[in-house]
Amino acid sequence: MNDGLLAGKVAVVTGGASGMGAATVRAFTEAGAVVTLVDRDEAGARRVAHETGVAALVGDVSDPEFCDGTVDAVVATHGCVDVLVNAAGVIHRAAASGTDDDDWRRVMSVNVDGVFYMSRAAVRSMAERGSGSIVNFGSIWGGVGASGVLAYCASKGAVHQLTRAMALDHADDGIRVNAVAPGEVDTPMLASGRDTPPTPAALVLLAEETIPVKRLAQPEEIARVVLFLASDEASYMTGAIVPVDGGFTAR
């Protein structure tokens, strides 16, 4: 159904080695995009790149030099960057008392700094051509609070505001900037950082008790919304934070 939706477009997807990022890489390649996957997980990046036939760059988006170099390399190879997806993210599960300086800085450096550095590098190239689309990964926890994930909530709130501000800054440049705000998704991050990883039965119970549609999302369901936002089908959308949460934030 999505064949050709991004035909000929040059895309960069961070966090593409697993979860929703990997699903986005697959959706984009199926839609005809030329994709470069970015992740610091070398083994995962190489695996997804091999499975999908895309290029992979291994590095850390919290490093501004790496981000600048990534965009420069893609432009040098393909002539432009049409689409940037900032899917890289980490989580720390604790309240303030359980979040030390290193924990805080790690979450902020990847979830906020990485989005800023990659977007700043991409808009330089996009503005020269007068077109481009950026899709950030926010979260339901960027719009509402949650206990036990202080740094993550703060980081995703910042991503939502970066999205809105950049959309306004670059509307005249022909660049659209939007974000998805996923709810609970069946990815490795959902179980990560917990003292006791949840069992499949516990995750089913979590969904039934907290999500109106009573199930977890699959990564592909989020990726399809990212694909829409990245494409010209969403040509009148910018500055939007789109919940993909099974009705969680509708209450």
**Residues forming the active site:** 152
Query: What does the H/E/C string look like for the chain?
Result: CCCCCCCCCEEEEECCCCHHHHHHHHHHHHCCCEEEEEECCHHHHHHHHHHHCCEEEECCCCCHHHHHHHHHHHHHHHCCCCEEEECCCCCCCCCHHHCCHHHHHHHHHHHHHHHHHHHHHHHHHHHHHCCEEEEEECCHHHCCCCCCCHHHHHHHHHHHHHHHHHHHHCHHHCEEEEEEEECCECCHHHHCCCCCCCCHHHHHHHHHHHCCCCCCECHHHHHHHHHHHHCHHHCCCCCCEEEECCCHHHC
CA distance 142 to 223: 19
The identity of residue 243, as a single letter, is P
Tell me the C-alpha to C-alpha distance, in Å, between residue 70 and each of 80, 90, 120, 164, 227: 12, 20, 12, 24, 21
